């Protein structure tokens, strides 16, 4: 199990905890019950916003992604360091093959983060690289939004239609599009960090 952490200086910003867990195929029902339980436990703590689970499509390699959100770092830290949280995390060990987790500030800087928080100790990507990756993420989503939402927005006020389109694009861009693109292009965005990680492995 690998758990990494990153403390943001802007403690008033929302915090997102992303947990990726590979579950033993024969223990999936138990894991699902565990995920419901830890979500209900987190809801009892101040600052809790939401818990979302992305279920695997490949049942032979069942990788779950759990996204937990708190309204600020202090509330997140209270939950993350609590005995309740530690107890729930330890309960899952029998169900898991592997787990990685990281928590990130809720701002746009989370778009340019490598898996396992490798990028946190390195400089952010060059500005032109961020622009290119942003275009790669935004342009297809705008086309998709126009194609999917366009027929439903006919007759709406243009500003309201634009607001709905921007909301949909922003939601998809934050997760899962930008994390996927940055992971795919990590060799180009963070060449030093990737080389360092390869030397360690």
Rounded to whole angstroms, how far apart are CA atoms 17 and 4? Answer: 11
Phi and psi dihedrals of 104, rounded to 5? -135, 150
65-119: pLDDT as tens digits? 788 888 888 898 899 899 999 998 888 888 888 665 544 444 444 455 444 444 4
Rounded to whole angstroms, how far apart are CA atoms 118 and 153? Answer: 42
| pLDDT, position 82 | 93
Rounded to whole angstroms, how far apart are CA atoms 103 and 6? Answer: 6
For 22, 39, 51, 185, the CA distances from 137, given in Å and listed in that order, are 27, 30, 24, 12
Q: Are residues 89 and 68 in contact, defined by beta-carbon separation less than 8 angstroms?
A: no
Rounded to whole angstroms, how far apart are CA atoms 98 and 34? Answer: 16
| pLDDT, position 199 | 60
Q: Are residues 96 and 24 in contact, defined by beta-carbon separation less than 8 angstroms?
A: yes
Q: What is the pTM of this model?
A: 0.47
Q: Are residues 98 and 22 in contact, defined by beta-carbon separation less than 8 angstroms?
A: yes
| Domains of the chain, each with CATH number or no CATH | 2-106 (3.30.70.100), 127-200 (no CATH)
Rg of the Cα trace of the chain? 19
**DSSP state, 199?**
H
Burial of 120 (0-12, 13-18, 19+ CB in 10 A): middle
| pLDDT, position 83 | 93
| pLDDT, position 108 | 45
The size of the chain, in residues, is 201
Rounded to whole angstroms, how far apart are CA atoms 113 and 78? Answer: 24
Rounded to whole angstroms, how far apart are CA atoms 98 and 20? Answer: 8
pLDDT along the chain (201 residues), means of 10: 37 70 88 90 92 78 82 88 90 78 48 45 66 86 89 86 84 80 81 62 54
| pLDDT, position 1 | 33
Rounded to whole angstroms, how far apart are CA atoms 159 and 26? Answer: 50
| pLDDT, position 194 | 56
Q: Which of 152, 174, 176 is nearest to 165 (CA)?
A: 152
């Amino acid at each position: 199990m690998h758990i990494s952490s990153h403390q943001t200086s802007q403690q008033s910003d929302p915090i997102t905890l992303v947990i990726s867990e590979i579950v033993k195929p024969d223990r999936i029902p138990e894991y699902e019950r565990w995920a419901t339980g830890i979500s209900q436990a987190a809801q009892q703590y101040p600052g809790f916003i939401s818990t979302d689970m992305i279920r695997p499509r490949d049942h032979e390699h069942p990788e779950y992604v759990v996204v937990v959100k708190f309204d600020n770092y202090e509330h997140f830290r209270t939950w993350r360091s609590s005995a309740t949280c530690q107890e729930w995390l330890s309960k899952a060990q029998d169900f898991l093959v592997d787990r990685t987790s990281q928590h990130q500030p809720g701002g746009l800087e989370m778009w340019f983060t490598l898996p396992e928080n490798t990028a946190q100790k390195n400089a952010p990507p060059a500005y032109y690289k961020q622009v290119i990756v942003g275009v790669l993420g935004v342009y297809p989503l705008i086309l998709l939004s126009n194609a999917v939402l366009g027929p439903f927005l006919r007759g709406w006020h243009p500003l309201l239609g634009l607001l709905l389109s921007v909301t949909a694009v922003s939601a998809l861009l934050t997760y899962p599009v930008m994390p996927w693109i940055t992971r795919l292009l990590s060799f180009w965005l963070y060449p030093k960090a990737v080389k360092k990680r390869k030397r360690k492995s």
